[in-house]
Every structure is written in structure tokens, then in C-alpha cells.
A = this chain, B = another copy of it.
Amino acid sequence: MTKHIYIYSPSSAIRDKAAFRRGVKRLQALGHEVEIDPDALSVHQRFAGDDATRLAAISRAAASGANIALIARGGYGLTRILDQIPYKAVAKAIQKGTEFVGCSDFTALQNALVAKTGAVTWSGPAVGEDFGAEAGADDIMEACFDDLVSGQGEGTGWRMPARDADLKFKPVEDAVLWGGNLCVLTSLLGTPYFPVVDKGVLFIEDTNEHPYRIERMLDQLKMAGVLGKQKAIVFGQFTGIRKVPGYDRGFGLDTVVDRLRASLKKVPVLTGLPFGHVPTKVLLPVGAKVAMAAEGRDVFLVWGHRHAHSHDHDHAHSH
């Protein structure tokens, strides 16, 4: 099913052009019509063009009429323009059927969009790191992406690690899914771009952080009253953990999770979600209502059928 995919760069400059080209080719090989934003490869300092350039790219993505607006890569660049993002234009594009997909720094736009409009975007792959991965694009990621583009996906699932085999939680219903990169999400706290989500399901991931920094961010969210009012917290993948041998002395991510569980008490803390700075990542609808339950170690996260609008729109493109 051919889809129109619009690729743009809202954050860091693309340094690995080979990976970007591989990603574009892979999307074309999957049968899609790929449109590349004129500033996708722009460079200004560490950014993919200056702020005005990247804001214009976001506007073009919103105006593209594409089925999917996909970020070229993450990095850094969105938090500094949060007060200028065309939220209404993006929300209107989403209503008309364009699905916005991205991760990492994109967390800022996604959660700010929930705060400002309630519109749903997808935490998922980027062109370079994922579709252009040197080892080839991950099968599960591509299957989840295909679920989105075909309009067939209604949820996802994963097996919790053995360590959490005994975790029990009351099934969650009618909860807003939100979150993404922990560091980027936390950097919205206290600003008008941090969404007010009560009784939601908050998922988090991060990369290259010390366990103590992960704990400090979680404590900030907890003391700000955010964590205690969620129905569940879901840990994705925390990669490149910067533990200092002989210094941290047993203080690691497991310690952080255990302490969080002890202090939150009533809010279940799940682990093992296949999302983060890893090849195998599922797609997750940020801002959507979800249900979540487990059978033993197997967790099911369901958002049901979405996007009546996008189906009409899809047909217009795919016939």
C-alpha cells in the first residue's frame, strides 16, 4: 500500500548522510512515495537549519498532505522553539489524516502538542537511525510502522523481564498515553508545554544517562505531583547507562525502579517496553486513550481502531 511520506528535520543536523540515504531508500523499497523537505539536510551550528528554518519545515510537514510526517533524526532543537511551534496547524494536519512520527527530541513537540491541542502523534522511528540502520531496519519496528500506515494497528504488547515476573496490576482502562524521552519530557516541567494528564499511562526511555540522573528526574516528576496521579508508569529501554564501577556500588537502574515502586505504592511501575534508543521499537500513540492489562509477564497495550479521517485520506492516495 503506497503511502506519501514527508521527511523533515526539526532538530539536529544530519551528520550521517549515508544512513539518511539508506533510510529513504528503505522507505521507497517498502513501496512508499517519499518527499524530502528542502531543508532536511540543512546545517546551522548543531541544528538542521536555524530556528526559523526548522519552524518552516514543521509548517511544510503540516501542509504536505502526506500520510506520514517522519523526522529525519532526533538530537536537539525542539525545546528551544516550543514557544513558536505552529501547534494549530500541526493539529489540523493530524485531523486531516497526517500522522506525525518521531522520537527522542521529538518528545518535546509531542507532549507540547498534547498540552496545547490534545492531538495525537506517534512515538516511533526516525529515518536515519531506524530505517537507515547499517544492520538493516528492524523487523518489529517495520511491522509496527506498517500497522500504522495500513491503519490496521490497534495496540502492541511485550513480555516483562523475569525480574518483574511477579508484578501484578489492575487492568487500566480509558487512560491517556503520554511520555517519551525522560530527559526531554522533564525539561518541559514547569512550562506551559508540559501536558496536564491525570490518570494516564506515562512511558519513559532514555539513553546515556547516569542512574542518579534518571532518579533525579523521576523524583522531580514525583515531587511535582505528576507520577502519583498516573494509572501506570511504563519503563521503556534505558540504554548506555553510565554507571561508574566501584563508585555507584550497587546503585543502578534496578535500584531506581525499586525505590520508585516503594514510594509510589499505588501506581504500578512496569518495565520492558520495547521503545527507546534501540532498533526494536514499537510505535506508540502519544495523547491517545489506551487500555493496558497483563497475562503473566505479557503486557497488552491497546488503543483500538483509530483514524477514520486518515482512512478516507489513505484511499485518496493509494488508489
A interface residues with partner B (beta carbon < 8 Å):
15, 43, 45-47, 76, 79-80, 82-83, 187-194, 212, 215-217, 219-221, 223-224, 226, 247-251, 255
Q: What are 13 A-B interface contacts by the 8 Å CB criterion?
A: A15-B247, A46-B212, A47-B251, A79-B216, A80-B216, A80-B219, A82-B223, A187-B217, A189-B189, A190-B220, A190-B223, A191-B223, A193-B223
Q: Are A191's CB and B224's CB within 8 A?
A: yes
User: Chain B residues with Cβ under 8 A from A46's Cβ?
Assistant: 212, 247-249, 251
Q: Are A43's CB and B249's CB within 8 A?
A: yes
CA distance A190 to B192 in the complex (A): 11
- A191: nearest chain-B partner, CB-CB: B223
Interface of chain A: mostly helix, strand, loop or mixed? loop
User: Chain B residues with Cβ under 8 A from A247's Cβ?
Assistant: 15, 46
Q: Are B189's CB and A45's CB within 8 A?
A: no
User: Chain B residues with Cβ under 8 A from A216's Cβ?
Assistant: 76, 79-80, 187
**Min CB distance, A182 to chain B, in Å?**
12
**Min CB distance, A256 to chain B, in Å?**
10
- A82: nearest chain-B partner, CB-CB: B223
User: Chain B residues with Cβ under 8 A from A221's Cβ?
Assistant: 190
CA distance A45 to B255 in the complex (A): 10
Q: Are B83's CB and A189's CB within 8 A?
A: no
